[in-house]
Amino acid sequence: MLTFVEETCLLLLDEKGSEFLPIHPNIVECALAGAVLVDLAFTYRIDTDPKTLTVMDRTPIGEAMLDRILAKIGEQGETSDTGTWIKTLSADESAAIQQQALDRLVERGILEQQDKRSLLGFRRRRYLTVNGEAAREIKDRIKTLILSDDIPDPRDTALLSLLDACGILPDIYPGGEFKSAGARIRQLRNMDLVGRDVFNAVADIERAIVTTRAHGAY
């Protein structure tokens, strides 16, 4: 199963997988930072309240990037809230998070790294889609979640909430098919489907992302 970070990174690529969608870099940074915290929340490594983000379990997950961020949060202790960690990870870690997510997608056989040099000798790195089914499957899951009345999967609900909090659903689904689905999206975000502790942590992460975006240059 892909991590939230990997799924988010994959959705930020265009349909060919060769270029990133034209989304403001700060929003991408928030999305990736939020995805890291959602991954840690869903693996019961962190918990949050309005004042602090707390490490509940320092046991490594087995994903190098997530384990590194978990250790970083654990070293600082309970001195920062979720919003502060969104800003910290967005500013200091987003490039590394994105690169490691891309590397893992290459390892999984979903993307292929391709390096080319221009006539001036500048290297350009692209990631070509090898397995387009992976991205289509994620998009179909989220689309089905929004447009149907089926009982939602907690993980899909969390991913939808993350994408909606970052305001990037229209970029991923440019056809405008969700314009009339605002009530359904709000309903899904308000469902306590993932257990009270994890749900509250995810909700705090989403609020922190929205606040960070509101005070950023978007």
The mean pLDDT value for 79-87 works out to 83
Q: Give the pLDDT band (50/70/90) at residue 120.
A: low
pLDDT band for position 95 (50/70/90)? Answer: very high
For range 170-183, the mean pLDDT: 86
- In angstroms, rounded to a whole number, what is the distance separating the alpha carbons of residues 100 and 66? 10
Q: Tell me what pLDDT residue 149 has.
A: 85
Res 63: pLDDT: 94
Would you list the DSSP string of the chain?
---HHHHHHHHTB-TTSSSB-S--HHHHHHHHHHHHHHHHHHTTSEEE-SS-EEES-----S-HHHHHHHHHHHHH-S---HHHHHHHHHHHTHHHHHHHHHHHHHHTTSEEEEEEE-TTS-EEEEEEES-HHHHHHHHHHHHHHHHS-SPPPHHHHHHHHHHHHTT-HHHHSTT-TTTT-HHHHHHHHT---S-HHHHHHHHHHHHHHHHHHHTS--
Instruction: Please indicate whether residue 86 or residue 137 has the higher confidence score (pLDDT).
Output: 137
Question: Which region among 1-10, 19-28, 59-68, 149-158 has the lowest average model confidence (pLDDT)?
Answer: 19-28
Domain edges within the chain: 4-214
Of 171, 176, 184, 179, which Cα lies nearest the Cα of 218?
A: 171
Report the top-level CATH class of 4-214. Answer: mainly alpha
Write the pLDDT tens digit of every residue in 100-114.
Answer: 999 999 999 999 988
Check residue 139 and give its pLDDT: 93
Write down the pTM of the prediction. 0.83
Task: Say what the pLDDT of residue 200 is.
Answer: 55
Whether residue 183 has pLDDT greater than 80: yes
